[in-house]
Chains A and B, each alone.
Chain A
Amino acid sequence: MGKMRYDYKQLESAYETSRQSLQAQITGLQAIHQQQLSELETSLQTYKDAIEQIENDYERSQEALQDLRNSKRAEYGRQFSQDPEGLSETIMLMYGFDYVP
């Protein structure tokens, strides 16, 4: 009887060991998943910030480009009235067309 009770106690101890191990695994996995989710959210936010920065940079570059285009337009407009020969030279260089006076 005593031996049986002793063995039963040992089985109970083994069960308790397994239960504690599984509980520790679950707690650990929950913590790891929580940390993973947090890191993924941070990563996504970093991506959104990067995209926003890229969009802003592109918008600025487009504005600069528009300014450049406006100044070039004004320059060619002036050239038309002040230096037509220079303008025809520009057209010939740019497109390779022949000028027919």
Chain B
Amino acid sequence: MFLNLLLILGSPAHAENVGQFTFLGEQQCAPFEGILFDPPALAEILARQTTANAACKARIEYEISVEAAAYDLVIRDWEIKYSALNEESTLLIQQKDIEIDQLRKSLLRQSPRNNWVWAVGGVAVGIASTYTAYRLFNE
């Protein structure tokens, strides 16, 4: 009961006169069959038509703004990622350059091989051994 009362009181028709319409047959107080709108309904139809362009423009502006904000976000994110990758590559190149330089210095500090010294020494030792053996076994 209470709910029904609430529904009746809360319905738009009872809240304010939002407009009414009815169907008319031919010669039923009208020269042709049609639909009869009361003044508030007609005013609503005309007002909606008058403001339709503005409503459409506002909606388009809203949708474009939302899309633009989303694309701005995507662009900013790509710029941030690009900047970070750029910094990473610069850092890696710098560190590799430092590493290469230090390894090069380290290599330069290594003990020299001096192969010719060992070759000359070997030949000299060989000659000396042969000569010593010759002297020992000949005597």
Give the interface residue-count category, chain B: 35 or more
In the bound complex, what is the Cα–Cα distance between A50 and B72 (angstroms)? 10
Number of interface residues of A (CB under 8 A): 47
Max count, chain A CB within 10 A of own CB: residue among B46, B83, B107: B46
CB contacts under 8 Å to A, within B11-29, are none
**Binary flags per residue of B25-60, CB closer than 8 Å to A gives 1, else 0:** 000000110000001101110111111001100100
In the docked arrangement, what's the CA distance between A91 and B109, Å?
Answer: 100
Given contacts A32-B91, A47-B70, A17 and B102 within 8 Å (CB-CB): yes
Complex: A47 Cα to B50 Cα, angstroms: 34
Residues of chain B within 8 A of A74, CB atoms compared = 43
Q: How far is the CA of A14 from the CA of B44 in the complex (A)?
A: 86
User: Does B77 lie within 8 Å of A40, measured CB to CB?
Assistant: yes
Whether A32 lies near B84 (C-beta < 8 A) is yes
Contact flag A44-B46 (CB < 8 Å), given A6-B111, A25-B91, A58-B58: no
Q: When each residue 61-76 of chain A gets 1 if its CB lies under 8 Å from chain B and 0 otherwise, what string results?
A: 1100100111011111
Contact of A94 with B46 at beta-carbon distance under 8 Å, contacts A62-B58, A65-B54 already known = yes
Alpha-carbon separation in the docked complex, A30 to B46 (Å): 64
Which residues of the partner chain A approach B62 to less than 8 Å between Cβ atoms? 54, 57-58, 61
Is B127 at the interface (CB under 8 A from chain A)?
no
CA gap between A77 and B40 in the complex, in Å: 6
Contacts A40-B77, A100-B32 hold; do A14 and B88 have CB atoms under 8 A apart?
A: no
Contacting pair A69 B51 (CB below 8 A): yes
B49 cross-chain contacts in A, Cβ below 8 A: 94-95
Q: List 14 A-B contacts (CB under 8 A).
A: A10-B107, A28-B91, A28-B95, A35-B84, A40-B77, A46-B73, A51-B66, A51-B69, A57-B62, A61-B58, A69-B51, A72-B46, A73-B44, A77-B43
What is B's interface to A at a CB cutoff of 8 Å?
31-32, 39-40, 42-44, 46-51, 54-55, 58, 61-62, 65-66, 69-70, 72-73, 76-77, 80-81, 83-84, 87-88, 91-92, 95-96, 98-99, 102-103, 106-107, 109-111
